[in-house]
Structure 1
C-alpha cells in the first residue's frame, strides 16, 4: 500500500490500432508547411547554417555560424540535422530536411505521451493525450522549426516514461515486464543534455523530489540505480562536452553555462524578458485547441491528487512550469517539456468528465476553460488581421480567409461537442483543427511573401546567369537567413559603404543586396562607378519589425544577368 493510502494499479497498454490512428492524425497536422515554409530568422537559420558548415568542413565537434562560435547549445541537434539532410543533398538540402528531426521529435513525444497515458489511465486516454499534445499550437509550431525544442521534448518525455515505471510501483510483486527502465532513463537524460544541456535534468529532479516528498517512498531513489546510471548519463551526454571543452580551452563551458544558462535566471537575457505570469497567460493560445480541456485536467488533478500516478503527473507538470515563471528570461517554448503532462491531465479529465462535472469546482473550471478556448480561437483571426496589416500584406486572400474560417469551424465544433465532453467530441474538434493547420501552415504562411525577404531575394539570385561562382554581400539586412540561402561566405555588412567596397573587389561575379536605408552610403562609396539593378524585393524584417526594400545590384561590367531558364542551385 502506498503511503498515500491508494495502491497503484496499471490501467493498461497502448493498442497498436490506437497508436497508429493517433500518430497518423498527428503526422497529418504537422506535415503542411514543412517543406514549403521558407527558413525563419533567427534561431532556425543559425542552427541550419551551423549544421551545413559541419558538413562543409567535416568538423563535427566545433559549432560555428560562419566564423562565429556557437557554444550556447551542445552538438546533438546539429548531428541529427546532418543525418536528416543526407538523402536530400547534404549541405545543399532544402530547409525541410533540416526540420525532419523536429517533426520526428513531436511525433515521438506523442507516442511516448500515449504510452504513459495508457499505463496510467487506459489505452483510449493515452491515445487522446498524444493527440492533444500534437495538435497544440506550440508543438505544431516547433515541429516546423529546425532547432532543439521538439527533440528536447521527445528526450524529456522518454525520460519521464522510464521514470514513471521506476517510481510508481504497482501493489505487490514487481510485474514481469521490461527491466531496463533505469538504463533507459539515464540514456534519455544524457541525450537531452547532448541536445540542450541540463534543462530536462532539472525537470526530472523536480519530478523525483516532488514524488518522493509527497509519497515518502524513499526506496524509489534506490530503484533509479544511480551508480550505473551516472556512467551511462556521462557517456551519452558529457563526452562531447569534454571534447569541445578541451578544444576550446573551456570557452564552451563559460559560454553555455555562464551565459546561456545562469545568465538567464536572474534577468531577461538578449531582451527576452517577460511579464508576471508570462507562461500562464500564453497557455490558452499556445495549448490551443487543447485549452478547452484544461479545466477538466485541473479538476482531475485535484480530485485524484492522492493517487501515486497523479502525484507523479503533478510533479512533472507544475514545479518546472512554476520555475520558468520565476526565471528572468522568458520565451514561449521554454515550458514545452511539460506540455505532455498537461495533455495527460486533459485526457484523464476527459475520461472522468461525467464525475468531474457533477461538482461545482469541476463545472466552473470546465466552463472557464471553454471560455478561454473561445477567446483564444477568436484571437487567431484577429491577430492575423492586425499582423498582416502591420507587415504590409493582404488579408483578403483565399488562403488567409480559409484559415480564419477554419478557426471559426474549430470554435463551433469545439463548443458544440465539448459542452458535454467525450472522446468522440474531442476527435471531431481535432479533425476541424486538421483543416485549420493545413490552411494556416500549408497555405497562408508560406504564401505571405512579406515575411520572407531573404527567400524572395534568393529566388531572384537562382535565376542569375553568367558566373559559376557568385559571391554575395548584404547591407542593412544582416539576418542569418541570408547566409543559409546565399552561402557560408556571404558577407553581412553593417553599412552600404562596406557593401560597395565588396562589390568593387568582386566586380565580375559579386552581388550586393542593399537595404534602402543604406543605399545613400552605398552610392556614395561607389564613386560614380556604373552599376546595374537586377531586381528589388519589398518586405518586412520580422526580427526587427520594420518595412524595407532590398535591391540586388551588380557592377555595370559584370556578366551576370537574369536568365529565363530553370532556377539553379547556389
Structure 2
C-alpha cells in the first residue's frame, strides 16, 4: 500500500505551472471575498427575478408542482401524463424548497444553485489537498465564473446536482488510486448512488469508465477490479438508489423500463432525440463556449495532455475529460451541457496552467468577444427579426421593450471595463494576465446573470408567464394547441392538457404560427411575443 496519503501526492505542480505569484498583491481575505462575489454573481444574483427558462425548466417545475398537488412522491407527472425523463432526487429537493419558500422561480432554482455552490466548494477542497491553496482558489473561481456552470447552476434542472455527485465520486476515485482504502471506494459508491437517483445510469458510467482508464494507465487494474467488486460498496449503492427504482417499477411497470431506461438512456445514445443531432465535431466548439471566458486559458492547458501519465492526478483528470468528450461525441443525441460532466477536471487543469498566459490579448479576447456579443445583441435582433419567415419567431424577437436604457448602459459599461483591462499598461505587482482575467470573469458573470439570461428568458418565456397569470386570474380552463411551454402550467397553478381537436368554447394556448390551424372564428384574449390565448367562437 502506498504510505503517502492522497493529499500528499501531486502537491507540487511542475515548475512551468507554478508561475510567479500572480495576485500576490491581494490581502489574505481577498480570495475568499472574490470567490464569494463570483458565486453570488454567477449563481444567486437575480435568481428568482426572471421567468422559468425554456422547456426544461418549465417541465421540471411543473412536475414538481404536480408532485405536491397529487401528494405522489414516487412518480412524476407532466400536465397529467407520466414523465420518465429523470429520476426522483431533484424533484424531492425542489418540492422541499417549494414547501419552505412557496412556488416561484427562486424556490425551484434554489436546489440547483446550492448544488453548484457545493460543487465549487468540492473543487476547492480537493484541489487544496492535492495541489496547493492558490491553485484551489483559482480552480474554484474558474468553476464559479465559467459560462456552463453559471447557466446550469441557475436552472431548475438536474445537471448541477449530477455534476456535484460526479465530482465527489471521482475525487474519491483519485484517493483510491493513490492510497487504496475501503472508505474511499465505498464513498464512491455512495456518490454514484445519489447521482443515479439524480439522472440515472450516466452517474455510474462516467466514474466507472474514467476510473478504469486511469487505473489502467497507471498499471493498477488489479486495484480497480478489487474496488469494483467491493460487496459493501454495491450494498450501499443498492440501499440508497434501489428503493425508488423498485417503487417506481411497482407503480409503472414496463412503461417505466421502456420510458426511462430504453427511450431516455439507450435510445438517447443511439439516435438523436427531439432534434438534438450534431456532427462528430459538435463538442469541440461547445467546450470552448462552455468555459467562457477561459477559452484562451483552456487552449493553453490542452498541451498538458501529453503529460497525462506523469502523475496519478494528471492521469485521472485527463481520462475523466477525454472519456466524457469521446462518449458523448459517439452519442446520437448531442446537447452542449452534456460536456459539463467532464468540465470539473478542466477547471483544475486550467488553474494549474493559469500562469502560462503571457499575453493580455491571449487571456482576455474571449471575455471581450462575450461582452461585445451581449452589447450588440439588441442590434442583431432588431435587424434579424423582420426577416424571420416564421411569424412566431418574428414576433418573439421583435420586442424592443426587453432592452431598455438601463440594460444598454450596463452592457456598454461592462464592455468598457474589459477593453480597459486589455489596454491598461502593465505595472509592477499587478498580477499579470491572470489577474486581469479574474476581473474580466466577474464582468462576464454579470453579463450572463444580469443581462443575457434575463433578456433571453423574457423574450422566450415572459409572454407565457403573463398569459398564464391572466388565465389564472380569469379562471379559464385552458388547453394547449401546437405549443410546448410547461411553465404555463406552473404559473397558472393547474394542468394544461394538450388537445388535438379544439372545439367551440375552448380557451386555447397557442403560437402565432399555429393560429391558422384553429377552427374559425377565434377571439384573441391575449397576444404578446407570438404567444396567444384565444377563445374559439361557435
TM-score (norm 1): 0.78
Question: Against the structure 1 CA distance between its residues 393 and 245, is the aligned structure 2 distance closer, same or farther, given a 3 Å change threshold?
Answer: same
Matched, 1:399 2:407: yes
Q: 1:473 aligns to what SS in structure 2?
A: strand
CA contact (8 A) 1:23 1:111 kept: no
CA deviation map 1:363-405 (0-9, x unaligned): 9xx9877666655555454556435643113367431452354
The whole-number CA distance in structure 2 between the counterparts of 1:116 and 1:296 is 23
The whole-number CA distance in structure 2 between the counterparts of 1:522 and 1:258 is 35
CA deviation map 1:23-72 (0-9, x unaligned): 44223322223101101231111111111111111111111102211112
**Residue of 280, 283, 286 corresponding to 1:279:** 283
Question: Against the structure 1 CA distance between its residues 217 and 450, is the aligned structure 2 distance closer, same or farther, given a 3 Å change threshold?
Answer: closer
When structure 1 is superposed on structure 2, of 268-277 and 405-414 the one drifting more is 405-414
Quote how far apart the aligned CAs of 1:296 are.
3.0
CA radius of gyration, larger in: 1
| Residue of structure 1 in register with 2:528 after alignment | 538
Matched, 1:116 2:120: no
CA contact (8 A) 1:27 1:107 kept: no
Q: CA RMSD in A?
A: 3.5
Matched, 1:212 2:207: no
| Residue of structure 2 in register with 1:562 after alignment | none
Q: 1:22 aligns to what SS in structure 2?
A: helix
Quote how far apart the aligned CAs of 1:479 are.
2.0
Matched, 1:62 2:61: no
The whole-number CA distance in structure 1 between the counterparts of 2:159 and 2:472 is 32
CA contact (8 A) 1:381 1:407 kept: yes
Structure with the higher fraction of residues in helix conformation: 2
Q: 2:353 aligns to what SS in structure 1?
A: helix
The whole-number CA distance in structure 1 between the counterparts of 2:232 and 2:431 is 42
Q: 2:144 aligns to what SS in structure 1?
A: helix
| Residue of structure 2 in register with 1:231 after alignment | 235
Q: 1:151 aligns to what SS in structure 2?
A: helix
The whole-number CA distance in structure 2 between the counterparts of 1:377 and 1:417 is 21
Matched, 1:473 2:479: yes
**Residue of 442, 447, 459 corresponding to 1:450:** 459
The whole-number CA distance in structure 1 between the counterparts of 2:430 and 2:304 is 15
Quote how far apart the aligned CAs of 1:88 are.
1.5
The whole-number CA distance in structure 2 between the counterparts of 1:21 and 1:369 is 19
Question: Against the structure 1 CA distance between its residues 419 and 160, is the aligned structure 2 distance closer, same or farther, given a 3 Å change threshold?
Answer: farther
| Residue of structure 2 in register with 1:188 after alignment | 191
Matched, 1:38 2:44: no
The count of residues paired between Structure 1 and Structure 2 equals 502
CA contact (8 A) 1:380 1:404 kept: no
Quote how far apart the aligned CAs of 1:107 are.
0.9
**Residue of 484, 499, 502 corresponding to 1:493:** 499
Structure with the bigger RCO (C-alpha within 8 Å, sep 6+) is 2
Structure 2 unpaired stretches of 5+: 13-27, 386-396
| Residue of structure 1 in register with 2:25 after alignment | none
Question: Against the structure 1 CA distance between its residues 376 and 515, is the aligned structure 2 distance closer, same or farther, given a 3 Å change threshold?
Answer: closer
**Residue of 482, 492, 496 corresponding to 2:488:** 482
Quote how far apart the aligned CAs of 1:292 are.
2.4
**Residue of 415, 425, 445 corresponding to 1:437:** 445
Quote how far apart the aligned CAs of 1:473 are.
3.3
CA contact (8 A) 1:81 1:99 kept: yes
Matched, 1:254 2:258: yes
Correspondence list, 1:246-395, <5 A: 246-303=250-307, 305-350=309-354, 353=356, 375=369, 378-381=372-375, 385-387=379-381, 389-390=384-385, 391-394=397-400
CA contact (8 A) 2:60 2:157 kept: yes
Matched, 1:550 2:529: no
Question: Against the structure 1 CA distance between its residues 210 and 523, is the aligned structure 2 distance closer, same or farther, given a 3 Å change threshold?
Answer: closer
CA deviation map 1:166-219 (0-9, x unaligned): 1123xxxx8xxx973223211110000000011122111122111111110235
Question: Against the structure 1 CA distance between its residues 516 and 51, is the aligned structure 2 distance closer, same or farther, given a 3 Å change threshold?
Answer: same
CA contact (8 A) 1:168 1:312 kept: no
| Residue of structure 1 in register with 2:136 after alignment | 126
CA contact (8 A) 2:469 2:491 kept: no
CA contact (8 A) 2:294 2:366 kept: no
Q: 1:288 aligns to what SS in structure 2?
A: coil
Question: Against the structure 1 CA distance between its residues 234 and 397, is the aligned structure 2 distance closer, same or farther, given a 3 Å change threshold?
Answer: same
Quote how far apart the aligned CAs of 1:426 are.
3.4
Q: 2:333 aligns to what SS in structure 1?
A: coil
Q: 2:274 aligns to what SS in structure 1?
A: helix
Question: Against the structure 1 CA distance between its residues 277 and 447, is the aligned structure 2 distance closer, same or farther, given a 3 Å change threshold?
Answer: closer
CA deviation map 1:211-250 (0-9, x unaligned): 1111102353235672110110111122211111121122
Q: 1:311 aligns to what SS in structure 2?
A: helix
| Residue of structure 1 in register with 2:16 after alignment | none
The whole-number CA distance in structure 1 between the counterparts of 2:106 and 2:328 is 31
Question: Against the structure 1 CA distance between its residues 16 and 160, is the aligned structure 2 distance closer, same or farther, given a 3 Å change threshold?
Answer: farther
